[in-house]
Amino acid sequence: MQSNVDLTPFNTLALPAIAERFIEAQSDDELQEVASWLSQEAVVPLILGEGSNLVFRSRQVADCIHIRSHGIRVLQECERTVEIEVAAGEHWNSVVEHTLQQGYYGLENLALIPGSTGASPVQNIGAYGVELSQFVTAVKYYDIETARAHWLSNDGCEFSYRSSIFKKALKQKALIAAVRLRLSKVPRVNTAYRALREELAGTDSPNPFQVKEAVVRIRQRKLPDPAEIANAGSFFKNPEVNEEEFARLEKEYPEIVAFPTGQHGNRKLAAAWLLDNAGWKGFSNGKVGFHNDQALVLVNHGAAFGDDVLSLAEQAIASIQARFGVVLEIEPAVI
Ligand code: EPU
């Protein structure tokens, strides 16, 4: 445990905040120990993986638990599938790379998503037509009120678009320790997402490695690397509208970008398109701005505090509501 630790290097938006107590857990045993301590002290901490999906509204955090546990192991395998268990502190992209090297397929579309494995089920990470929930068999967590270990099944995780039980009933209650994934040993790829299909246009029957490389190329082209430009990925969720709302919007904006959600004619609108169309892409107020190549990503130009980021986000939300009658929701966790 350390005191008064500056969290700027621990969040990819590089927002300044001080943790009064900063505790690092490097193994499952240490996580259990931390959970016991939390339950005894009745403390509700900030649980930090790689800090790639959060915004500090506050400049002071009382207690912060930094998850650094490592390990990937095979639980069981047969000819066609394998089940692995990954410790929460493993860097997500290393898991993607490692599994592909082993000949375990499925995660290629999720390459290069920043963050740790323990954070991945919280917001059910997704990209290029694939979501984490397609692979999760179970998630292990410690209840910070009782210090007990629990395993949740896939259903128990209540996954939905960029959400799970860890953002709802178990918000601030669970210390995620490990994630179990079932992957395929048979190379089957998903290239249905338009941008991915276009990137692979010259490749006949792409294999999972080629799909991963294509995803990496698109991400590197469109999304800023947090190591170079501070950001937290998509800042807003893609909003869902019903059939009538969509018909009204399409009439006024025939070029609007939307995807069917499979629910009674509902559509998911590309928030990036809404922001782009409203003129936010590339806008900067000197401290905070919208990325030049992806309007959905807010970037910190270096001197911003969380308030600066959130007030620009609120201006954008208001402008999108006024223009389209649609309310954008902030995607990262606001602390
Ligand atoms: N578009 C614009 N202007 C822009 C960017 C995009 O008009 O500045 C339009 C494009 O026409 C494109 C559409 O918006 O067809 C969708 O853009 P993109 O394919 O880049 O995906 P997205 O919906 O903006 C989502 C995820 C990303 C994920 C990509 C790829 C959310 C909130 N975001 O973005 O996830 O990488 O799809 O699958 O669902 C993240 O969550 O942090 C994240 C980066």
* pLDDT tens by residue, 129-169: 999 999 999 999 999 999 999 999 999 999 999 999 999 99
Enumerate the β-bridge partners of residue 126. 131
Task: Locate 320 and state its tokens.
Answer: 């999108």
CB atoms within 10 A of CB 297: 23
Query: pLDDT at position 262, please?
Result: 78
Question: Average model confidence (pLDDT) for the chain?
Answer: 97
234 lines ligand 1 (CB under 6 A): yes
**Residue of 190, 222, 273 to test ligand 1 pocket, by largest number of atoms within 8 Å of CB:** 273
Task: Please state the atom number of ligand 1 nearest to the C-alpha of residue 123.
Answer: 41
Encode pLDDT of 249-288 as tens digits: 999 999 999 999 878 889 999 999 999 999 999 999 999 9
- What are the residue ranges in the chain where pLDDT is below 70? none
List the residue whose alpha carbon is closest to atom 32 of ligand 1.
237
What is the spatial distance between Cα 326 and Cα 253, in angstroms, rounded to a whole number?
A: 13
234 given a catalytic annotation: yes
Count of alpha carbons within 13 angstroms of residue 332, beta-carbon side: 28
**In the sheet where 174-184 sits, what is the strand order?**
72-77, 81-87, 174-184, 136-143, 149-153
> Which among 52, 116, 164, 234 is annotated as catalytic?
234
Query: Does the C-beta of 128 come closer than 6 Å to ligand 1?
Result: yes
Asked whether 238 lines ligand 1 (CB < 6 A), one says yes
What's the gap in Å between 9 CA and the centre of ligand 1?
26
pLDDT, residue 264, reads 86
Active site residue 331: yes
